[in-house]
């Protein structure tokens, strides 16, 4: 944001942006079919550079654009969903979240060959600055190092039953996290994204790369969780933290100042009863190229030593289903599992 605020977003940035797609687009071959989803709020340089990089690699690419949706996880137009069905891979370059909390994308995710799921590359809320100066500017060696770091964290989470999250702003949350298949978290988060599977199709990924998340067992999260940086709503760098009081896996109270009022309004206006459940995810950021104090959720949630905590729809366990998922960020987090193993200490990852 700092670069854009100072200099705007001149079209000459395209020179750097086309190259910024080298890592996520590395495995693309001529003839691969892509559907790029975007909206009228997105910086045109972002989707233009993606389309240019796809063409350079011989891919067949279709762009679908619509007026910006009212809220995160709102469903795109049905015409765009139908176009996406014909693609091999969907790239989400929208200004609203199109993750597993989006109802229309759940059926789309379920189709496809190979792994049985159509890859949706999640890159929502992307900016030119993230791609060229932030988490998207990692070198290949840094990218692979992130995968190795995430593999180590995932291996610990795979054998853990309970998690405790604390922070300097007053977070103190506990939850049960077991029940995943053996080695599921190590394999998921340690695997290099955007690669081809055994059937030859492209796999999934997010960009910037850099998180390990675990979904709490529904009904087991208890305590206090303080979002102190930003969230899906309201956007931007927050001035006052928002405190969630959670009992038996449900948000019971939302306290704070102006931002808390906005969060309450957002959930009341666009959510449903299940949007207050946990659900969601407890996710540790692992990307050291993501800078602090940007107020950009796409970057802040991936930042090394930060954590984003989502309430609402839980994709991993398939139990909590809601109209939306709302994610917020803790700037520096401490994570302890099974009362003994410290994964992260005040923003410093120890494994």
CB-CB contact of 299 with 134 (8 Å):
yes
| CA torsion through residues 39, 44, 50, 56, sign | positive
Could you give the domains of the chain?
2-133 (3.40.50.2300), 135-349 (no CATH)
Closest CA to 212 of 79, 344, 73: 344
How many beta carbons lie within 10 A of that of residue 213, not counting itself?
22
Tokens 């079209």, located at residue: 11
- The token pair at 212 is 């390990």
**Per-residue pLDDT band at 117 (split at 50, 70, 90):** confident
- What is the per-residue pLDDT for 110? 65
Q: 39: which strand partners?
A: 66
Three-class secondary structure of residue 216 per DSSP: coil
- Cα angle 335, 254, 177 (rounded to 5 degrees) comes to 30
How far is Cα 305 from Cα 343, in angstroms, rounded to an integer? 10
Q: Enumerate the H helices of the chain as residue ranges.
A: 2-7, 14-20, 44-56, 78-85, 103-110, 128-133, 140-158, 184-190, 258-270, 297-300
How far is Cα 241 from Cα 195, in angstroms, rounded to an integer? 38
Please write the tens of the pLDDT for every residue from 251-277. Answer: 999 999 999 999 999 999 999 999 999
Name the strands in the sheet holding 89-93, side by side, starting at the edge strand that comes first in the sequence: 60-66, 33-39, 89-93, 120-122
Please write the tens of the pLDDT for every residue from 215-237. Answer: 999 999 999 999 999 999 999 99
- What is the per-residue pLDDT for 113? 39
How far is Cα 144 from Cα 259, in angstroms, rounded to an integer? 37
Closest CA to 138 of 302, 269, 268: 302
Calculate mean pLDDT across residues 331-347: 97
- The token pair at 91 is 């790239």
pTM flag (> 0.85): yes
Please write the tens of the pLDDT for every residue from 6-63. Answer: 556 778 889 899 999 999 999 999 999 999 999 999 999 999 999 999 999 999 999 9
**Per-residue pLDDT band at 111 (split at 50, 70, 90):** low
**Per-residue pLDDT band at 99 (split at 50, 70, 90):** confident
How far is Cα 5 from Cα 87, in angstroms, rounded to an integer? 36
Return the minimum-mean-pLDDT range out of 137-141, 306-310, 311-315.
311-315
Mode of pairing for the β-strands spanning 162-167 and 172-176: antiparallel
| CA torsion through residues 98, 50, 229, 263, sign | negative
């Amino acid at each position: 944001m700092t670069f854009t605020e100072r200099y705007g977003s001149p079209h000459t940035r395209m020179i750097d942006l086309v190259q910024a797609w080298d890592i996520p687009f590395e495995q693309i071959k001529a003839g691969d079919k892509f559907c790029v989803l975007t909206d009228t709020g997105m910086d045109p340089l972002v989707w233009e550079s993606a389309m240019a990089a796809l063409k350079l690699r011989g891919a067949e690419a279709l762009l679908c654009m619509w007026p910006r949706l009212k809220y995160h996880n709102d469903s795109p137009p049905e015409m765009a969903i139908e176009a996406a069905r014909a693609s091999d891979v969907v790239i989400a370059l929208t200004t609203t979240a199109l993750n597993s909390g989006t109802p229309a994308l759940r059926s789309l995710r379920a189709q496809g060959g190979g792994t049985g799921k159509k890859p949706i590359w999640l890159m929502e809320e992307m900016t030119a600055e993230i791609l060229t100066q932030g988490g998207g500017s990692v070198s290949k060696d840094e990218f692979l190092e992130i995968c190795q770091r995430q593999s180590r964290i995932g291996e610990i989470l795979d054998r853990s039953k309970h998690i405790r999250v604390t922070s300097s702003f007053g977070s103190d949350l506990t939850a049960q996290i077991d029940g995943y298949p053996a080695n599921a978290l190590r394999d998921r988060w340690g695997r290099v994204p955007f690669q081809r599977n055994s059937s030859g199709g492209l796999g999934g990924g997010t960009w910037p790369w850099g998180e390990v998340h675990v979904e709490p067992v529904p009904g087991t999260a208890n305590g206090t969780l303080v979002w102190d940086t930003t969230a899906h709503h309201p956007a931007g760098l927050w001035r006052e933290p928002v405190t969630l009081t959670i009992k038996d896996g449900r948000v019971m109270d939302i306290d704070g100042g102006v931002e808390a009022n906005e969060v309450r309004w957002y959930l009341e206006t666009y959510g449903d009863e299940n949007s207050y459940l946990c659900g969601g995810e407890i996710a540790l950021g692992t990307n050291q190229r993501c800078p602090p104090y940007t107020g950009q959720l796409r970057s802040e949630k991936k930042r090394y030593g930060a954590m984003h905590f989502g309430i609402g729809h839980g994709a991993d366990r398939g139990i909590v289903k809601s109209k939306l998922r709302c994610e917020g960020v803790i700037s520096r987090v401490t994570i302890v599992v099974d009362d003994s193993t410290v994964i992260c200490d005040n923003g410093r990852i120890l494994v």
